[in-house]
Structure 1
Amino acid sequence: MGQGMDQRTVQGAARQRPDGMVHEGVPYREPALLARELHAPVGETLRDGGRVVAVLDEANRVALESLLGPAAADIEWRDPAEVHRVPAFTVATRWAQLARRTPHPEVRTTVIAQHMDLPGVDLAYWIRLDAALNVALATLPVTMLCPCRDDADLDLLLRSSHPALRIGGESLPTGPQRDPTELVAEYPPPPPPDLGPPAAELAVTLDGLPAVRRLVAETAPVAGLDPERTADLVLAVNEIATNSVEHGPGRGRLRLWTRGGLLAEVHDVGRMTVPFPGIVAPPASGARGRGLWLASELTDVLQVWSDTSGTTVRLLAEAG
């Protein structure tokens, strides 16, 4: 996973397109006022036959349900703790997958995603998430509404990544946006946690790729994966391991843990320069860059850490 691998980078903030993403921050002081701001865009999406998904705390959900009345039954409510139990880039990837796989792709999807206090979720998480959304959703017909209490740091949480703020029923431009690549560089993810001794490990070499696939296939059932999930993970790990030996230093190490499914790690001493690994598909004409995208699509969580000491890629396939 060295200098030759996945060199494509995402430059510049994603521009809002009429048929693409709308990304608005929604500052608010109390639930009733937030519900009033959300009422019009939610109602418009529902009337057009679009999909509305909402991630709100209890007070804000109750206020919006009260204002919408029977129409609130058409909203898909998601548990904030469940949505945000995974890394920020994974959340952005999942919203993109939801938009691409909607039963009615011809109509707009509206996602209400509140910035809130949650265990283990800090300021850097929200900044990384908003930057990743601007990349992952750039060309998709999604309206992303991000409520945030206006006693928070609005410059960092809203104005730096949202082209507009919804205030008083109007969409007000915020001015120039920060480059998403610069933002995630300023707010890197926490280092990979120590997972203790692995259940299995193996050197990764070009000649040893068949052994890598065998080890994953043999370990996956022990972790509770069914045959379909096992096949997906085998393919995903093979993509990452192949990138490591073909485009990186030529040698790495695979480690496997059986916790909540099967977690696979490929580490090597190369350096990766991709700011948003696995979030966007490479161009159809591109010869490289497909490995990370495919691995992300085939697994539940993909995480990448890369610095002067090397690159670590972790893939999680959850059981059940």
Structure 2
Amino acid sequence: MTATDPPDPVTPHHEGVPFGGAGALAVQLAPRLHAALRTAAPVVAVLDEAERAALGAELGTAASGIEFLDPADVYRVPAFTVAVRWARLSRRAEPGARATVVGQHVALPGGDGPGYWARLDAALDVALAGLPVEVLCPFPDGDDVLSRTTHRTLLSGGHSVPTAAFREPLEVVAEFPPPPPPDLGEPGVVLPFGLEGLGGLRRTVATVATDGGLRTERVADFVLAVNEIASNSVEHGPGSGTLRMWVTDGQVVAEVHDAGRLRVPFPGLVAPPPTGVRGRGLWLASELSDVLQVWSDAGGTVIRVTMTL
């Protein structure tokens, strides 16, 4: 495959793009992006300032068709959430076209860059399966050995070159599991629940979300998301759990904890089969909320959903 030949629109494509400088990256990306901009599909670029400026200069007026996003805004959420958001771009593409994302690996605060990018690359391979989305991941040439093992191909010299060192997503996420989210302090609500308590749980979620300032239509989504998670604890878990809630930093957050162990490496990333009767809860919760996070330890499983005000 050459840089001027876009991938087949029905096959997901996730490719690394090693680069030695902003200008060199722009030259590498320009043919692929020119081809993408000629289709009826979104083109999104998440680039540092220097790389964005170089790409704009290389593309000229065509750059106006790209939705440029600030890396600080995009990557402030967990890696799995970013993968889900790129997968959702497929819904904005016309039949026969594919959405395109340029997602640069940038320096992140906190020092978790390698783990974050490993999780994101692994999640993309799972979340994009069967969807018309292309994600190109620029990273510094010679700087990031890890990125060469989390992409099946690399864009180099205008060609897609297979990487012999590629590792499967399950292997990658086993080495770099998602860390537990930050502690939010004392919750405003602590509510144990069982089957008979699900109605009260829904009312509590609606009240806290509404009082916290969440818009009416998003309150309904949030209630449904939390209900799906709590119902899983009742129907498929130990039969009971505990709801905790916070309103903090412009967000409404709900956690459901139960004593069961959830062994799902990529929770909520992929829609269940249409004919299936189970497995929809986490996916629905992910679809209905802004961020879904799941972690398990010896004490059980915690699922956190977040909505931004």
SS at match of 1:311: strand
Structure 1 segments (4+ residues) deviating >4 Å? none
Give the match for residue 264 of structure 2: 274
User: Following TM superposition, by how much is the alpha carbon of 1:18 offset from its aligned partner in structure 2, in angstroms?
Assistant: 5.8
Give the match for residue 288 of structure 1: 278
For 1:142, the aligned partner's letter is V
Equivalent runs, 1:1-320 vs 2, <5 Å: 19-100=10-91, 102-120=92-110, 121-154=112-145, 156-157=146-147, 159-175=148-164, 177-259=166-248, 260-319=250-309
Whole-Å Cα distance in 2 between the matches of residues 72 and 17 of structure 1?
A: 23
User: Following TM superposition, by how much is the alpha carbon of 1:163 offset from its aligned partner in structure 2, in angstroms?
Assistant: 1.4
For 2:235, the aligned partner's letter is E
For 1:232, the aligned partner's letter is D
Whole-Å Cα distance in 2 between the matches of residues 191 and 258 of structure 1?
A: 19
Unaligned runs of 5+ in 1: 1-15
Instruction: Please tell me the root mean square deviation across aligned C-alpha atoms, in Å.
Output: 1.5
* Contact in 2 for aligned 1:268/1:311 (Cα 8 Å): yes
User: Following TM superposition, by how much is the alpha carbon of 1:177 offset from its aligned partner in structure 2, in angstroms?
Assistant: 3.2
Q: Higher relative contact order at CA 8 Å, sep ≥6: structure 1 or structure 2? A: 1
SS at match of 1:130: helix
Unaligned runs of 5+ in 2: 1-6
TM-score by length of 2: 0.94
SS at match of 1:201: strand
Whole-Å Cα distance in 2 between the matches of residues 299 and 124 of structure 1?
A: 24
Whole-Å Cα distance in 2 between the matches of residues 51 and 225 of structure 1?
A: 29
User: CA deviation digits over 1:269-311, x for unaligned, max 9?
Assistant: 1000111101101112222110000000000000000123210
Whole-Å Cα distance in 2 between the matches of residues 176 and 119 of structure 1?
A: 28
* Contact in 2 for aligned 1:17/1:139 (Cα 8 Å): no
Whole-Å Cα distance in 2 between the matches of residues 312 and 118 of structure 1?
A: 26
Whole-Å Cα distance in 2 between the matches of residues 19 and 217 of structure 1?
A: 40
TM-score by length of 1: 0.91
SS at match of 1:196: coil
User: Following TM superposition, by how much is the alpha carbon of 1:17 offset from its aligned partner in structure 2, in angstroms?
Assistant: 6.7
Whole-Å Cα distance in 2 between the matches of residues 238 and 29 of structure 1?
A: 49
User: CA deviation digits over 1:66-125, x for unaligned, max 9?
Assistant: 11111111111011111001000000011111222x052431211100001022352100
* Count of residues paired in the alignment: 301
Deviates more, 1:118-127 or 1:143-152: 118-127
User: CA deviation digits over 1:239-271, x for unaligned, max 9?
Assistant: 000100111111110000001221000001100
